[in-house]
Chain A
Amino acid sequence: AQSVAQPEDQVNVAEGNPLTVKCTYSVSGNPYLFWYVQYPNRGLQFLLKYITGDNLVKGSYGFEAEFNKSQTSFHLKKPSALVSDSALYFCAVRDPDTGRRALTFGSGTRLQVQP
């Protein structure tokens, strides 16, 4: 079975500082990994994904994530946080070897960027 863990319920960071939102996963094969962001009363917005290739993936709004197979991690990062980055972030995984296309999501991490 596939699973995702987001160990932090909330991350607080000052505007202008770097931010990291952690994600670890468990799948039997090679994972497809995704990050989504959710603003209040909105659906999920796609940020970035890792499918194959370069371990460092760049996405929308200046976010990036690094796939680390040995640590089974896919942490989301941004060099300089903005107040407008404050939102709920979800990591998700899919195991392509199972043939199932449904995503398994982590519990979400609330990012709070203070001015």
Chain B
Amino acid sequence: GAGVSQSPSNKVTEKGKDVELRCDPISGHTALYWYRQSLGQGLEFLIYFQGNSAPDKSGLPSDRFSAERTGGSVSTLTIQRTQQEDSAVYLCASSLAQGGDTQYFGPGTRLTVL
């Protein structure tokens, strides 16, 4: 079946611009996660949504980062006033949110801030 999809695959932007990254989870998965992969910081958790519960935003690095999940499915990660240190690969994952469930990852969006 279809896996997690993300768009765009690559995004180049200028410092100070806002960007939106999109994630389509696996159908039926109630949990959705955003992670960031960068050379200096490795793989870091950003934010987690599960059903109608309040999201776990504990990993967001600054208030320039926000995310929403509409209708319990598609999610958008927004970075405002982008900085060069925001350059990274942004990975989305989804899971069934049951017990020791497995998180399945999308291909990622490579963000480059010039």
Chain A residues in the interface with B (C-beta under 8 A): 32, 34, 36, 42-46, 49, 51-52, 90, 96, 100-108
Provide the residues of chain B in CB contact with A103, threshold 8 Å.
33, 35, 45, 103
Q: For window 59-114 of chain B, which residues contact chain A by CB distance below 8 Å?
A: 59, 91, 93, 95, 97, 99-100, 102-108
B26 interface residue, CB < 8 Å from A? no
Closest-CB distance, B34 to chain A (whole angstroms):
10
Given A101-B31, A101-B50, A105-B42, is A43 in contact with B56 using a C-beta cutoff of 8 Å? no
Instruction: Report 14 cross-chain contacts, Cβ distance below 8 Å, ordered by A residue.
Output: A34-B102, A43-B91, A43-B107, A43-B108, A51-B100, A52-B100, A90-B43, A101-B95, A103-B103, A105-B35, A105-B42, A107-B42, A108-B42, A108-B43
Bound-complex Cα distance A46 to B106 (A): 11
How distant is the Cα of A107 from the Cα of B38 in the complex, in angstroms?
A: 11
Q: Is the CB of B56 within 8 A of A44?
A: no
How far does the alpha carbon of A96 sit from the alpha carbon of B95 in the complex, in Å?
15
On chain A, the residues within 8 Å of B107 by CB distance are 42-43
How distant is B29 from chain A, measured CB to nearest CB, in Å? 12
**B58 proximity list for chain A (CB < 8 A):** 100, 102
A-B contact sample (11 more), CB < 8 A, given A45-B105, A96-B100: A34-B102, A43-B105, A44-B91, A46-B102, A51-B100, A52-B100, A90-B43, A101-B33, A101-B50, A102-B56, A103-B33
A43 x B48 contact (CB < 8 A): no
**Chain B residues with CB under 8 A of A51:** 99-100
In the assembled complex, the Cα of A104 lies from the Cα of B48 at a distance in Å of 13
Closest chain A residue, CB of each to CB of B107: A43
Residues of A within 8 A of B106 (CB): 43
Q: List 10 A-B pairs, minimum CB-CB distance, nearest first.
A: A51-B100, A105-B43, A102-B45, A44-B105, A43-B105, A43-B107, A32-B100, A107-B42, A43-B108, A43-B106
Q: Name the residue of chain A whose CB is nearest to the CB of B45.
A: A102
* A102–B42 touching, CB < 8 Å: no
- Taken together as a complex, chains A and B put the C-alpha atoms of A42 and B6 apart, in Å, by 12
